[in-house]
């Protein structure tokens, strides 16, 4: 899952990115409103973390422009402002949630997990597909109760498929959502990661829909 972080405080931006990366997300960053607006308007993010007090273009204007242009990714706003009216303005502009500074990083991560779950129609923090369970709180994957060890890219690929159940996902979409903007993207590597995942979670767990892409199925068998 790919997250955009728009925060002008470089230390806080770095802390957010490190926490998100450690939690298994891929992140892109912006340090002012204009750059943040451009990225959010041109790249397909699963969620965005947006500071309201930004240079060049304030966060509220960024958010309003995204929604006006039809960008629907969940947005968590960060604000150092104490006035309740600023929080209301953010929600009314299209934000899905907010966190007031200073905050605990675990709270931000929990709210991001909740936004991603709701966006994909999941009520629980555990995503389940047949015998496969992905715990979004701990970034752990089990199959029939046994831990499955995945690389970071394998985890991102599986996480995106499990957040989008019963949906055919193209290679291009997978590339856009599991790599950051600076990564040397090659859709052929997706086939490699799918092959590795099948060895770990079962050959039938990921269905190839010829000419279209991949779909996670609930009929995965034990990996052999």
- For the segment 90-126, what is each residue's pLDDT rounded down to a tens digit? 899 999 999 998 899 999 999 999 999 988 888 888 9
In CATH, the number for domain 2-119 is 3.40.50.2300
Boundaries of CATH 1.10.10.10 in the chain? 126-216
By DSSP bridging, strand 126-129 and strand 97-100 are: unpaired
**What are the DSSP E strand ranges found in the chain?**
2-6, 26-30, 47-51, 75-79, 97-100, 126-129, 132-135, 140-143, 146-148, 206-209, 213-216
What DSSP character marks residue 55? S
Boundaries of CATH 3.40.50.2300 in the chain? 2-119
CATH number for 126-216: choose from 1.10.10.10, 3.20.20.80, 3.30.1490.100, 3.30.1480.10: 1.10.10.10
How much is the average pLDDT of 46-60? 95
What DSSP character marks residue 204? T
181 has a pLDDT exceeding 90? no
The count of other CB atoms within 10 Å of the CB of residue 155 is 21
In percent, the amount of the chain with pLDDT more than 90 equals: 69
* Mean pLDDT (the chain, rounded): 90
């Amino acid at each position: 899952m790919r997250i955009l972080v728009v925060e002008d405080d470089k230390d806080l931006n770095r802390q957010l990115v490190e926490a998100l990366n450690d939690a298994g997300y891929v992140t892109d960053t912006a340090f002012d409103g204009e750059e943040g607006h451009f990225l959010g308007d041109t790249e397909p993010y699963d969620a965005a973390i947006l500071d309201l007090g930004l240079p060049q273009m304030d966060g509220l204007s960024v958010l309003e422009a995204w929604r006006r242009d039809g960008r629907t990714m969940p947005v968590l706003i960060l604000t150092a402002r104490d006035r309740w009216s600023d929080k209301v303005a953010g929600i009314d502009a299209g934000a899905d949630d907010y966190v007031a500074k200073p905050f605990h990083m675990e709270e931000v991560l929990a709210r991001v997990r909740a936004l991603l779950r709701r966006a994909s129609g999941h009520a629980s923090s555990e995503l389940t597909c047949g015998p496969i369970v992905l715990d979004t709180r701990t970034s752990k994957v089990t199959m029939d109760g046994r831990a499955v060890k995945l690389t970071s890219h394998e985890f991102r690929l599986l996480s995106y498929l499990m957040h989008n159940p019963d949906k055919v996902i193209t290679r291009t979409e997978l590339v856009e959502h599991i790599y950051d903007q600076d990564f040397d993207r090659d859709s052929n590597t997706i086939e490699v990661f799918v092959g590795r995942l099948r060895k770990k979670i079962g050959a039938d767990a990921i269905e190839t829909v010829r000419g279209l892409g991949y779909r996670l199925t609930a009929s995965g068998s034990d990996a052999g």
